[in-house]
Amino acid sequence: MKLALVGIGKIAQDQHVPSLAASPDWELAATCSRAGEVAGVPSYRGFDALLAEREDIKVISLCLPPVPRFDYAQRAIEAGRHVMLEKPPGATLSECHALEDMAREAGVSIYATWHSREAGKVAAAKSWLAGQKVSRAHITWREDVRRWHPGQDWVFDPGGMGVFDPGINALSILTEILPSPVHLKSARLEVPANRQGPIGADLTFTDNVTADLDWRQAGPQSWDIEVETARGLLKLSDGGDTMTLDGVEAGEVSEGGEYPRLYAKMALLVGAGKSEMDLAPLRHVADAFMLGERVIVDPFEF
């Protein structure tokens, strides 16, 4: 199937382009970008021109930040194209629901991707936890925003979500592996004096589930989730690529890598005429913004 990538920025170049090049399902037939290009691939500056001139392209993969993404998704659906959304699937829950409704009415597939759910040991963790009672769980997601988002001011703008931009990856894993759903009880958001979005967040959910998200981690980076049960302590590390049970490495590795698996799934959804739009991780983020106590901290510059 032919596909167009829109928004040729960091994640498009790092993950989407190589995953598509290696995929047996997809041909990267065009890009749409205000500035970026992919060597050897026809490039469009205007999205309407791409949609009008390339009826051979049935699938649009949107790699833009969340705020501008809705408008592109709407135009793609109205033009009868299937749509794949980078995470988070939108800047608000309402626009995600609207897109889901539009896609259903237009008879096209829409896929809200959560790349961290495709990390190597997430499926193994989910299957080990199935049916168990969780007594405690804790997320530690501490990374250096300067290293992973150099100069990307949009992450701190309204709709950019601040530290929830990576934190939602942890929440996407949590909502995938926990045997029973939890909801947020309280949150503390640390917002730099010169920014709109938080740079740190402490979250407390029901069932003894907590999260520590921080974007000021200069040394070793931590992307860990611990889940305690009567059977023992499960720990996912490295963003879900490593799993231990009571300190001993365990679990089958899912083959293929995060983005190749997302594209394989999109091929299946389009082939089956289905959609997938799980908004549980975004719901937790929305709750944190609604319920969170805001604490002003030192200004932040890249």
Q: Is 95 in the site for ligand NAP (CB under 6 A)?
A: no
d(CA 210, CA 184): 9
**How many Å apart are CA 247 and CA 233, to the nearest integer?**
8
Q: Give yes or no for residue 64 binding ligand NAP (CB under 6 A).
A: yes
Please give the full DSSP string across 161-195, using - where no structure is assigned: -TTHHHHHHHHHHHHHH-SS---EEEEEEEEETT-
At 259, phi and psi to the nearest 5?
-70, -40
Query: Smallest distance, Å, CB 171 to ligand NAP?
Result: 13
Stretch that binds ligand NAP, among 3-11, 98-106, 137-145, 173-181 (CB under 6 A): 3-11
3-class DSSP state of 150: coil
The reply to whether 68 sits near ligand NAP by the rule CB under 6 A is yes
Mutual angle of helices 122-129 and 164-177, in 10-degree steps: 40
86 versus 176: smaller Cβ distance to ligand NAP = 86
**Both tokens of residue 187?**
């949150």
Contact segment (CB under 6 A) with ligand NAP among 2-10, 103-111, 117-125, 276-284 equals 2-10
> Could you write out the DSSP letters of every residue in 46-93?
-HHHHHHH-TT--EEEE-S-HHHHHHHHHHHHHTT-EEEEPSSS-SSH
Considering the candidates 87, 133, 265, 274, report the single residue annotated as catalytic.
87
Q: Does 289 bind ligand NAP (CB under 6 A)?
A: no
Instruction: Please tell me whether residue 257 binds ligand NAP under the rule CB under 6 A.
Output: no
For residues 104 and 109, what is the distance between their CA atoms, to the nearest angstrom?
8
Which H or E run includes 245?
Answer: strand 242-245
274 is catalytic: no
Q: How far is the CB of 213 from ligand NAP (least distance, A)?
A: 14
Over the window 129 to 168, marking each residue x when it contacts ligand NAP by CB under 6 A and - when it does not, the resulting string is -------------------x---x------------x---
- 63 sits near ligand NAP (criterion: CB under 6 A): yes
Confirm or reject binding of residue 281 to ligand NAP (CB under 6 A). Answer: no
Backbone angles phi, psi at 237, to 5 degrees: -125, 175
Of the candidate residues 65, 90, 260, 292, the single one contacting ligand NAP (CB under 6 A): 65
Q: Least CB distance from residue 151 to ligand NAP, whole Å? A: 8
Segment 174-203, which members bind ligand NAP (CB under 6 A)?
none
Binding site for ligand NAP (CB under 6 A): 7-12, 33-36, 63-66, 68, 86-87, 115, 148, 152, 165
Active-site positions read 87
